Structure 1
Amino acid sequence: MSRSPGCARCGGGRHDRPADARVPGVVAACGLYFLWLWGFHREVLETEPGDESVFGH
């Protein structure tokens, strides 16, 4: 099997760790989601697993 020459967009350079570039974005998205829950849906964060009052709307 032949190896690919690399990335055609950047002139043949290899990108060894493209997933590492997404980690800060995922962390930021999770942080924003947590802040949104904390600000607008606090009851979600204040319930315990197995709390029956959640199901009794």
Structure 2
Amino acid sequence: MAISHLMQRGILTKAQRRRFSLYIIQEMPIREIARLEGTSHVAILKSIQQALKKLI
């Protein structure tokens, strides 16, 4: 099943979808995502890890 299809199934929160998309699909570095969102890179990393767990 394609990643984009899994992301649209409502499994992820809006923040997880956005962060996962930026990191995996658009290949944006975690620190850059954190800078854009005004949060820590650790928070972004944890969010992406949680998203991966939900999708697997």
Measured against the shorter chain, the TM-score band is under 0.3
Compute the TM-score of the two structures, normalised by the length of structure 2: 0.25
> Which structure has the higher relative contact order (CA within 8 Å, separation 6+)?
2
Structure with the bigger percentage of helix: 2
